[in-house]
Structure 1
Amino acid sequence: MKNTIKGMLSLLLIIMLLQILAALGYAQPQKDILRVGAQTSAMLTLDPARTTGEGTTVILSHLYNKLVDFEFGDSTRIVPDLAESWEIVPDGKTWVFHLKHDATFASGNPVTAADVVFSLQRVLRIAETPSRRLSQFGVTPESISKIDEYTVQIVLKRQYAPQYFLSCLAYPSVGSILDQQLVLQHEENNDFGSAWLSLHAAGSGPFVVEQWVPGQGLTLNVREHFWENWTPFFNKLTVKEMDPLLQMTMVQKGDIDLAWNLRPEQIHHLRQNPDLYMYETPEFTIMYLGMNVGYEPLSRSEVRDAIRYAIDYDAIMHEILQDAAIKIQTIIPQGIFGYNPATPYNFDLEKAKNLLAEAGYPDGFEVELLCAPSHPWSAIAVKLQSDLAKIGIHVSLKFMDGLELYTTYQTQAHQMVLAQWQSDYADPNDNAMAFAHSTSVDKDAKVLSLAWRNKYVNPEIAALVDEAAYELDRDRRAALYQTITEKILDDGPFAVLGSPLRQVVARFEDFEVPPSFFMFDASTFK
């Protein structure tokens, strides 16, 4: 289980907004400055190799370029960024990237193969959380090499699906390419320039850092002589630290142009303001009920199905989450390749009771549900307790703080649990491995996935997950994920409830938030 990091909405979305507004003739931010209110406390460093928070990766997307990026508005498609092309050699595991020849860093230095090799090797040598997205492919510093001034070779341990590998390279904390010369000028005690990079940048992106004061705010300036053909519609962007209540006040008064950490009840209130506009998109997060099949009643597929039919999903979405989430029932989020829109489970108490009877539990049973004591989890737990009581399942609630809940869940010591999973990267393998890959319930199992935590074993589905990770053909891979999501939907140890919405409020009109929110580069907009 992963805790969702409450961060910032992608600055790219803001830039897209301003360009749309300019085309439509709407007013630009005051004095060419875009003013944003946000919670920035999770932003601890600007060093890509040490970054974990979503908010910081959003900033990185506008300071740096990567070899590849996601197509705007379609996070299932990879497009060139610094690499103009790439190919896989016949062995299936060696990738060759050909760089654009006109890209330059903000320092004026050209972007070369040496910078790419240095940047990717640096991520692996620093070996913090971002490095896992690269090392999972068996990539080592030695397997990344310069072929010539504008050609880079990366050797993986075996063949992998192209979307899988490229999606990880498109993630800012992994794929950001740094100005090697500038970084090494600021190296101290063999730290790869990390101390300096915590407050500065060495990128080729369209923005540069004017000032960042951790815990207070950030100012970015549009870069002079940006190498891509891109015309900005503002010259400065300021992000000021403020809690949701202050954001709400400031955006109403017109003291900020955009607020991106508002709570659902604030969004609901601000919808009545004719001067403000609400925009939303599903996050790459799955909210779910986990059912440990090691607990006897839950070992029966009919029982798990009965629970899924006994849940009033619409009430959870509308009454508890206040329409700040969408109902989905499969394990790959909307917006990621392989998403399955099927929602076969509805609130059907008669069907749920019949399934319980078929499983040998006509009078129900008792079960314990673990959850966090905070909203909305506690309210969802109470609702599930009420729903399941209607079919004879008596749920006792046990509230735990995050660390205790995580430890209990991680050691398979629960019966049922309310949790959520945030995708590490925009490829279905991340969610498929988490929700569907389990071949053993033993402590030394190969993959300690969410399925494993719920003591669910299905070697057939696990084999399909592995096959999909290595499949080169896009259509064949899509078919594999269709099968995987259907099987887990029908038989798995989860009742997927939905995905939260990223909701923002702006003083601008006619803006559509794309489904992905953290991996785009503003310079892709011309």
Structure 2
Amino acid sequence: MKMVSLAGLAGALLMSVAPVATMAATPADTLVVAQNIDDIVSIDPAEAYEFSSGEYVTQTYDRLVQYEAEDTKKLVGGLAASWAADDAAKSITFTLRDGVKFASGNPLTGADVVYSFKRVVALNKAPAFILTQLGWTKDNVEQMVTASGNKVTVKYAGDFSSNFVLNVLAARPGSVVDSVTVKANEQNGDFGNAYLKGKSAGTGPFSLRAYRKAEILSLAANPSYFRSAPALKNVVIRHVAEAATQQLLLESGDVDMAKNLTPDQIASLQAKGGFKLENYPQAAVHFLSFNQKTPELTNPAVWEAARYLVNYQGMTSSFLKGQMRTHQAFWPAGFPGALEDTPYSYDPAKAKKILADAKVQLPIKVTLDVINSAPFTDMAQSLQQSFGEAGIQFEILPGTGSQVITKYRARTHKAMLLYWGPDFMDPHSNAKAFAFNEDNADDKYQSTTTWRNAWAPPKELNEATKAALAEPDPAKRNTIYLDLQKKVQASSPIVIMFQATSRVAMAPAVSGYVNGATSDFVFYRLVKKN
């Protein structure tokens, strides 16, 4: 790897913002962040489906309704000033805010909302299913979403309540784009997809100044943002994969924030003092999964044994300390309906007996795909060692985040170490991802862990997932989800191991940073440097 000096790297950090006289400190009006952002596949809000791209979309776009920096647990009006739901008619009518403009200066209109939802459905990229589950198709979306003046009416088809629909519309693909600008930059009927991979066209608190894949995201403040202009004029997110380099840059004053430090580095900063160290509970669950296209991994005994071959405590008490907690259910702890039981512990002797009783032929040799950065490579090495004791031998295949995720979506992996965060704040988001798959065909792409691992769950799980979605009573609904989690926890080719905690180190001058439970709830709008 080519090495560069800290001064040279700091210069790269700021080259898209403004020249500065010294590299010893960042500009007073600019927040510079060191972060691993190589998971980004696309920054088009109709295609963005990764953690880092989720953060970006929140800074640059708005939805009709959304969760805001001031209270990330409360759903409020975004581009909509108000709305009225008609459950009987399965429709919601939104009244748009007055005076909202896109970064281009174009005024927000109902036509922008209709176009934005239409392009998500028409493009049919990874997150499109979030909107199409409302019964929208390429053929009917313009009848399901209509506009008249400052009113937008959203219709839906399905046995679920309007509250569920609002949570769907608050998700990332519900972002509204500037239809005038995007249409002007369409290429061969792509709905501006190529254009929005390198430009922004939103109403958000920031607009995109520059994006270079696995290098930099540079954002400029929107001074006319309808919730008030951001406190800082610029945010620069620099891709720094190495945690040690992130620490050095923070200590030297060349960045204001480091987001991917190891526990040892956090401890080092604590010992030195002079930095803010914040913990943010996250909704992401981390799991090991087995592709059911791989014959050696289809025996349920292998799935059961795997649950006893993860050294949960060994990892969370060492290199994952402060970063993750043991969690073995698909809905994150801290949210209504979450199963917090952790019945499995590291027991290689029990795992060996399970495999022997089932007459599983050993050794099993499979590849394990993993993101090539901490702590994922450390987790993979731990799994390689512990599974090897029972005759399951992993060959670790490291790759960038986008490489690993793209492979997972194509179902070409064998074993995969990855993470999953809810697409929207409703248990159905994860239930559909981990317990539902009614069409396992290769040409029926679904953004779920079940489909990506070619696993067709038993019919009872599919039916229970649909029943929970339709249940109007919150208590009864949570009961169904608890039962679903127990069943997936007990028998599934997806071994859920941990729930993440985000630990962010920042310079003492930084305040106002908001990091909610999902990547969509990261906000820079209120950040100040005192």
Q: Shorter-chain-normalised TM-score: which range? A: 0.7 to 0.9
Deviation at 1:477, TM superposition (A): 2.2
Structure 1 residue identity aligned to 2:113? V
The whole-number CA distance in structure 1 between the counterparts of 2:257 and 2:128 is: 33
Match of 2:517 in 1: 515
CA spacing shift, 1:92–1:365, aligned 2, 3 Å? farther
The whole-number CA distance in structure 1 between the counterparts of 2:212 and 2:409 is: 37
CA deviation vs aligned residue, 1:211-269 (integer Å, no higher than 9, x gap): 455565343333223322x3643232233344434332221011211122445554444
1:381 to 362, 365, 383: 383
Larger deviation, residues 162-171 vs 320-329: 162-171
The whole-number CA distance in structure 1 between the counterparts of 2:297 and 2:474 is: 40
Deviation at 1:485, TM superposition (A): 1.1
Local SS of the residue matching 1:69: strand
Local SS of the residue matching 1:157: coil
Deviation at 1:328, TM superposition (A): 0.3
Deviation at 1:66, TM superposition (A): 0.7
Local SS of the residue matching 2:478: helix
Match of 1:482 in 2: 482
Structure 1 residue identity aligned to 2:254? D
* Native 8 Å contact 1:320 1:380 kept in 2: no
Match of 2:464 in 1: 464
Q: Percent identity?
A: 23
Local SS of the residue matching 1:372: strand
Matches within 5 A, 1:217-232: 217-228=216-227, 230=228, 232=230
Match of 1:246 in 2: 245
Match of 1:36 in 2: 33
CA spacing shift, 1:346–1:96, aligned 2, 3 Å? same
Structure 2 residue identity aligned to 1:124? V
CA deviation vs aligned residue, 1:270-313 (integer Å, no higher than 9, x gap): 3433122333335443333447998799546xx86665456441
CA deviation vs aligned residue, 1:391-439 (integer Å, no higher than 9, x gap): xx4434444567899989987996xx45334236033323323322357
The whole-number CA distance in structure 1 between the counterparts of 2:497 and 2:431 is: 17
CA spacing shift, 1:336–1:166, aligned 2, 3 Å? farther
Please give the TM-score of this superposition, normalised by the length of structure 1: 0.75
The whole-number CA distance in structure 2 between the counterparts of 1:310 and 1:162 is: 43
1:113 to 110, 114, 117: 110
Structure 1 unmatched ranges of 5 or more: 1-27
* Native 8 Å contact 1:170 1:519 kept in 2: no
* Native 8 Å contact 2:323 2:503 kept in 1: yes
Local SS of the residue matching 1:256: coil
Match of 1:237 in 2: 235
* Native 8 Å contact 2:206 2:221 kept in 1: yes
CA spacing shift, 1:60–1:441, aligned 2, 3 Å? closer
Deviation at 1:366, TM superposition (A): 3.7
Matches within 5 A, 1:66-145: 66-70=63-67, 72=69, 77-91=74-88, 93-140=90-137, 141-145=141-145
The whole-number CA distance in structure 1 between the counterparts of 2:222 and 2:409 is: 47
The whole-number CA distance in structure 2 between the counterparts of 1:39 and 1:464 is: 38
CA spacing shift, 1:159–1:404, aligned 2, 3 Å? closer
The whole-number CA distance in structure 2 between the counterparts of 1:198 and 1:405 is: 18
The whole-number CA distance in structure 1 between the counterparts of 2:71 and 2:341 is: 20
* Native 8 Å contact 1:82 1:100 kept in 2: yes
Match of 1:327 in 2: 326
1:425 to 420, 423, 426: 423
CA deviation vs aligned residue, 1:467-521 (integer Å, no higher than 9, x gap): 1223344333222211211232244454421134433221137877432232456
Local SS of the residue matching 1:31: coil
Structure 1 residue identity aligned to 2:323? A
Matches within 5 A, 1:4-403: 30-41=27-38, 46-70=43-67, 72=69, 77-91=74-88, 93-140=90-137, 141-162=141-162, 164-172=164-172, 174-187=173-186, 191-194=190-193, 196-212=195-211, 216-228=215-227, 230=228, 232-244=230-242, 245-263=244-262, 265-290=264-289, 298-299=299-300, 308-309=307-308, 311-334=310-333, 338-347=337-346, 352=350, 356=353, 361=357, 366=362, 368=364, 370=366, 371-372=368-369, 375-385=377-387, 389=389, 393-399=390-396
Structure 2 unmatched ranges of 5 or more: 1-24
* Native 8 Å contact 1:283 1:502 kept in 2: yes
The whole-number CA distance in structure 1 between the counterparts of 2:291 and 2:213 is: 42
Local SS of the residue matching 1:463: helix
Local SS of the residue matching 2:330: coil
* Native 8 Å contact 1:37 1:256 kept in 2: yes
Structure 2 residue identity aligned to 1:344? P
CA spacing shift, 1:72–1:180, aligned 2, 3 Å? same
CA deviation vs aligned residue, 1:56-95 (integer Å, no higher than 9, x gap): 3322212221111125587665332112333443446433
Structure 2 residue identity aligned to 1:134? L
Structure 1 residue identity aligned to 2:479? A
* Native 8 Å contact 1:113 1:152 kept in 2: yes
Number of aligned residues: 485
Structure 2 residue identity aligned to 1:221? A
* Native 8 Å contact 2:291 2:411 kept in 1: no
Deviation at 1:455, TM superposition (A): 5.8
Deviation at 1:115, TM superposition (A): 1.7
* Greater relative CO, 1 or 2 (CA 8 Å, sep 6+): 1
* Native 8 Å contact 1:167 1:425 kept in 2: no
CA deviation vs aligned residue, 1:365-390 (integer Å, no higher than 9, x gap): 7452632376234322234236xx4x
CA RMSD, aligned part only? Answer: 4.3
Structure 1 residue identity aligned to 2:112? D
Deviation at 1:465, TM superposition (A): 0.8
Larger deviation, residues 62-71 vs 399-408: 399-408
Structure 1 residue identity aligned to 2:160? Y
Larger deviation, residues 95-104 vs 116-125: 95-104
* Native 8 Å contact 1:258 1:507 kept in 2: yes
